[in-house]
Structure 1
């Protein structure tokens, strides 16, 4: 069971090594990187490449670790007892399985994605230590222990919004997805926009990487954003000459696909203003 990437996902050699190492070690793969570098998509493509079902747990700021195991609805049980409902005699009727339980209960191996774990409270990773390590947990309401029938491939993503606890990191295989260099980006573009003219691609990528290097940029455009930008360029049938910028117009064509906040737009406007002043 080896991951080598897919037709839809360009995986670098170090990324495929990381995925396969995590599978061999039977440890969660913790993937970090800039937003838009394909961390979430990696789990989907691993599942597709290995022919496995994927279970996705999207973590939010309000998510608690217990929700990944199960939730006990005591309020509904109390209400049903007041109404004389016979369901109250079986506590299992009021237990909702979480994503970890779903993964553990599967007869076949699955890919479990815990997406953006750093969005949750700092204690969230610690609260999952034993469950991810031993692949089991205890249900207090029923007195049963839920054990993984098949150890899932666990992929955890983080945008580095919070530092993760050392105890949690020790139990993971770590990989940082570096932002693609131009050669890798060309392969990614070919997957999404096959047959794009070389001259347009060269001009667009040159400008894209120049934008990313502008000092003071609050949010650098990502892979997903350059793909959207190229889609617009193709839809508008723009040529490399149309993309040329000068001092009077520092903003790129269709810049709304690349620059996602007013600070960065104003930054390019100031650069244009300064360039016009120097040319006088």
Structure 2
């Protein structure tokens, strides 16, 4: 999923449980200070923590809270550093060549998330200049040069799960993240940062692969610890208040029961060296119990099934 210039829409339901729009986030620990330091130093903010701990949704929350533009790139094993700066549509260019309708080489270049953040006017102007012939490059055609300057100059960039990539990816980002300058290899054009463009770059890792030391030195690093039970209740409250209406006493009691269960399961998982239920899984269980009327009680068979499916995720575990 890639979200660009506009503020994420406000859905009437929770339409993206793993990547919410940022409204229902409970900021804990030093995260607010970390944002201030990252903006003051121009350094990326690297968030560590277990899957489901809220690393990715924090970036959307900062964008929503401040009404900044939001750009997101989810890293895969095939992602390379230039993919975050720009992409080149080789397939479209080949098709155009076969159809004998080649366009200027820059027409096949599309700005990436870091280009949009570091030089937003340049990225918008480039997009508006590109031709839209109904193929892969989708461009909004508008009249008037002023459209290229009608952009948000403050933004949040999420580079999600960087540990999935080869170590060459973080190494390849050292210069662009440090200088906020880069060169388009296809055209030789230099992209320089715009003076009024301010970007918070949030990078997440599940620590499945160790990151290069040179990359870590250039980041601010914060580890998200799992919330204690009262903080889990606050998380449930934030989600209900944001999407479903007022948080009732029944909701609070349910959240407290589930928070205690999650805490107990995590302590047991520590002893057995098993995986631990995350904040996201706590929310899944909370929403399911709340909507389906499932009681957190050993006598409720539906609770036992839900506990296995949503929290333990192990077959035949009681």
Deviation, 1:234, is: 2.0
Total equivalences in the alignment: 253
- The 5 Å alignment of 1:65-80 reads 65-73=81-89, 76-77=92-93, 80=96
Residues 13 and 211 of structure 1: CA distance in aligned 2, closer, same or farther (over 3 Å): closer
Deviations 1:150-195 (A, max 9, x none): 1421000111111111110111111001110112112111112422
Work out the CA distance in 2 between the residues paired with 1:153 and 1:207. Answer: 36
Cα contact 2:93–2:102 (8 A) shared by 1 = no
2:11 match = none
1:12 match = 28
Using structure 2 for the length normalisation, give the TM-score: 0.72
Establish whether residue 208 from structure 1 lines up as the match of residue 262 from structure 2.
yes
Cα contact 2:229–2:256 (8 A) shared by 1 = no
- Pick the structure with greater CA Rg: 1
Cα contact 1:110–1:153 (8 A) shared by 2 = yes
Among residues 112, 115, 121, which one is paired with 1:101 in the alignment? 115
Deviation, 1:79, is: 5.5
Deviation, 1:94, is: 2.5
SS state of the match for residue 243, structure 1? Answer: coil
Deviation, 1:55, is: 0.5
Residues 232 and 185 of structure 1: CA distance in aligned 2, closer, same or farther (over 3 Å): same
Structure 2, unmatched stretches of 5+, are: 1-21, 122-152, 241-246
Residues 139 and 180 of structure 1: CA distance in aligned 2, closer, same or farther (over 3 Å): same
Using structure 1 for the length normalisation, give the TM-score: 0.81
SS state of the match for residue 312, structure 2? Answer: coil
Work out the CA distance in 1 between the residues paired with 2:221 and 2:287. Answer: 33
Q: Which moved more, 1:163-172 or 1:17-26?
A: 17-26
Structure 1, unmatched stretches of 5+, are: 1-5, 270-280
Work out the CA distance in 1 between the residues paired with 2:223 and 2:26. Answer: 15
Aligned CA RMSD, in angstroms, stands at 2.4
